[in-house]
Amino acid sequence: MSSNVVQLRDVPSVRDQVSPEEWQARVDLAAAYRLVDIYNWADSIYNHVSIRVPGEPDFFLIKAHELLYEEITASNLLKVDSRDDDVDESQHVNKPGFTLHGGLMAARPDINAAFHTHIPECIAVANQPDGVLPLSQSGMQFWNNVAYYDYQGITENLDERAAIAAAFGDNHTLMLRNHGPVTVGKSMRDAFMLMRELEVACKLQLRQQAAGGEFTMPSKEVLDHFAEQRKTHNTGRGTADWPAFLRRLDRIDPSYAQ
């Protein structure tokens, strides 16, 4: 094994070396990586999930490139400076991951977490001229809140960050055509749940289209009403799902929180 590869064994816990807020962010991010593995969203070691370091807005946490999603723990996550344009393989940071996530964190101070996957059904819908349609409650969550960006090659050109940010705007979802989706949120829970709903929405849309024939969609008035409802829906019981996901992970393998 190359000497610069992150070792899985004997990785000391960093819990006593960071603030309680950063540790919680690390646990949430490690949980997100494990959930990606459970949901079969992982593309080998590729793609990334990131979270901003609380109290340090220029820094974000991300996985070491060579690790599988199932191997991620709170302690082996990397802390990266979004302003450092000289990251390289020796730092275990994937350049496309740094370009995309670092660029988003720098351009969007309103977000703290970002997901990027290669879910096949999401790519298929991203390639459709009309993109995500509000055919289901899952699909309705992306009404007037999803942007699209044409493929420009592997996302490793740092100069491309401005174009991606401009296309994204203030939306919570970006469909990278021919590539894959990105979801963002104020919390890891928000970004994860958007990706989960997006997968469901895209699968349902493709099934509906494959069935052929005509189909119905809600009126603009209903969609606008739904969007208003969503603003307050998650302020109470709607966020109870994240602790439930963590309990599920605790039963499967609690090592993510180490």
Residue burial 88-110, b: 16+ Cβ < 10 Å; e: rest: eeeebbbbbbbbbbbbbbbbbee
pLDDT tens-place string over residues 37-82: 999 999 999 999 999 999 999 999 999 999 999 999 999 999 999 9
pLDDT tens-place string over residues 195-229: 999 999 999 999 999 998 888 889 999 999 988 88
Here the CATH number for the domain that contains residue 114 is 3.40.225.10
CA distances from 12 to 72, 78, 140 (A): 13, 13, 44
Q: Do the domain assignments include residue 1?
A: no
The Cα–Cα gap between 220 and 218 comes to 7
Q: Do the domain assignments include residue 9?
A: no
Q: Do the domain assignments include residue 3?
A: no
Q: Do the domain assignments include residue 7?
A: no
- Structural domain range at position 101: 15-257
pLDDT tens-place string over residues 112-124: 999 999 999 999 9
The Cα–Cα gap between 199 and 63 comes to 22
Number of domains in the chain: 1
Q: Do the domain assignments include residue 172?
A: yes
Look at residues 195, 64, 48, 171 and name the one whose alpha carbon lies nearest to residue 111.
Answer: 171
Q: Do the domain assignments include residue 166?
A: yes
Beta bridge pairs of residue 183: 115, 173
The pLDDT, as a whole number, for residue 2 is: 42
Q: How many secondary structure helices (H) and strands (E) does the chain include?
A: 9, 7
Return the structure tokens found at 9: 């064994």
Strand segments (E) across the chain: 48-53, 56-62, 78-81, 113-116, 146-149, 173-176, 180-185
Q: Do the domain assignments include residue 219?
A: yes
Look at residues 97, 152, 81 and name the one whose alpha carbon lies nearest to residue 89.
Answer: 97
Q: Do the domain assignments include residue 34?
A: yes
CB atoms within 10 A of CB 247: 10
